[in-house]
Amino acid sequence: MSGFAWSQQTRTAPSFNVVNFSPADLRSIPGVVGAVAFGRFAARDYQVHPGDFIPPIGTRTGTPVSTGIHDIYFSLILPSGAPPANGSPVVIAGHGGGGSKEGFTLGVASPLAGLLAQRGIATIAINGVGHGFGPLGALTVSRTNGDSVAFPSGGRGFDQNGDGVIEGREGIRAAQPRTIIDDADGFRQTVADLMQLVRQIEAGVDVDDDALPDLDPTRIYYVAQSLGGVYGAVFLVLRRSPELTHFCSREMTQTETTICDPDHATRSERAVRSLCVFPGNR
């Protein structure tokens, strides 16, 4: 691959803003990234649209009712080399407010994916509710032979306030007259989507169509930045299991920030080490 171009749908007109990503960040540690893959899966939508809220239910006995099915797009970074028999361990990356799955896998945070790949760990990410700009956005992958392929980027934002603009996190909050809910139901829907992502990994992910799993369904972890730590905390509680653990950054909730080491400089390295996965120990 020679580059990636993300056409963000920023207006309902529609209008697009093109952001280019170089593979250089993923290659900051030479030879550790083996493949970059993109895909989608179907997940249940529990929100009512328009309105962008989840109808209230009894907290003890109630069961949310699905309002439909939506496609969730993901980006996946795989480590180089032969994977273990059960596939590579995988980190689910939760982006911050106004961020996107592209940021964690192709953009500013992609060196972390490279650092994880050096330890034999894959990185996978989805967009949270209201993030990734509009649904007409596209991602174009340019190959070194001059060919290119384009496909939907999976933006989950929309013009909620009717001004014709689709902002970076527009749609995560409930609309009038339920604005008191704020982004709580957007978080809940994102958590439901993350839980479905885990189910997809547990069912088996075969990127190269060799009938072998590329991701280990028993070694699923979570890393997040800022807002991703807020909805991620709910996700981890609901997916309580010894396989699903996480580490945090200073940008998470106040409680998380309090219990975390404040040393910023070596945060990424300590985070990777907290997974107890090192070169040769996959």
Chain segment 114-169, per-residue pLDDT in tens: 999 999 999 999 999 999 999 999 999 999 899 999 999 999 999 999 999 999 99
In this prediction, residue 244 has a pLDDT band, given cuts at 50, 70 and 90, of low
pLDDT of residue 34: 94
Residue-level pLDDT at 23: 86
Helix spans in 79-177 (H): 101-105, 110-118
Q: What is the overall mean pLDDT for the chain?
A: 87
Rounded mean pLDDT of 99-128? 92
pLDDT band of residue 263 (cuts 50, 70, 90) is very low
User: Which whole number is the average pLDDT over 182-198?
Assistant: 96
* Residue 280, pLDDT score: 42
pLDDT above 90: residue 89: yes
pLDDT at residue 241, as a whole number: 57
- pLDDT, residue 90, reads 95
The pTM of this model reads 0.86
Give ∠ CA 137-74-208 in degrees, rounded to 5: 120
Which range, of 32-36, 71-75, 182-186, 261-265, averages the lowest pLDDT? 261-265
pLDDT at 212 exceeding the cut of 60: yes
Distance CA(228)–CA(253), nearest Å, equals 9
Nearest to 226 by CA among 96, 125, 128: 96
Residue 158 vs residue 112, higher pLDDT: 158
Q: Smallest Cα–Cα separation from 222: which of 92, 102, 124?
A: 92
Please choose, from the candidates 129, 131, 153, the residue with its C-alpha nearest in 3D space to the C-alpha of residue 38.
153
Question: Is residue 140 within 8 Å of residue 149, measured between CB atoms?
Answer: yes
3 state SS of 156: coil
* Per-residue tokens: 69: 């099915």
> How far apart, in Å, are the Cα atoms of 255 and each of 27, 246, 252, 266, 272?
35, 15, 8, 20, 21
CB 150 within 8 A of CB 136: no
Cα dihedral value 57, 60, 61, 63, nearest 10? 50
Alpha-carbon distance 99 to 107, whole Å?
10
Q: Are 253 and 124 in contact (CB under 8 A)?
A: no
- Which residues 6+ apart lie within 8 Å of 2 measured at CB? 23, 142, 143, 144
For residue 251, what are the CA distances in angstroms to 95, 128, 239, 258?
A: 11, 17, 22, 11
pLDDT of residue 61: 87
Give pLDDT, residue 254.
39
Beta-bridge partners for 142: 3, 148
Asked if pLDDT for residue 279 goes beyond 90, the answer is: no
Average pLDDT over every residue of 7-29: 92
Whether 260 shows a pLDDT value over 70: the answer reads no
Distance CA 248, CA 271 (A): 7
User: Distance between CA 3 and CA 210 in Å, rounded?
Assistant: 26
Position 2 scores a pLDDT of 86
pLDDT level of residue 240 (50, 70, 90 thresholds): low
CATH placement of domain 3-273: 3.40.50
| Short-list 271, 252, 216, CA closest to 94 | 252
What pLDDT shows up at residue 261? 46
